[in-house]
Structure 1
Amino acid sequence: LERVRLQARGEDQRALNLSGGNQQKVVIAKWLAARPRVLLFDEPTRGVDVGAKAAIHTLVRELAREGLAVLIISSELPELIGMSDRILVMSEGRLVGELPAGAEEESIMRLATSGRRGGREEAA
Structure 2
Amino acid sequence: MTHERRQDRSENPWTAGDLYLRAVAQRTGLEHLTLATREGLYLSGTGDKELANRVAAVAPLYVEEPAALRAGLIEELTDGQPMQVWRVTVRNRPFYLIGFGALTDMSEEVQHAFDRIFARPAPRTSN
Same fold (TM over 0.5): no
Choose between structure 1 and 2 for higher RCO, CA contacts under 8 A separated by at least 6 residues.
Answer: 2
TM-score, normalising length from structure 2?
A: 0.29
Bigger Rg over Cα: 1
TM-score, normalising length from structure 1?
A: 0.30
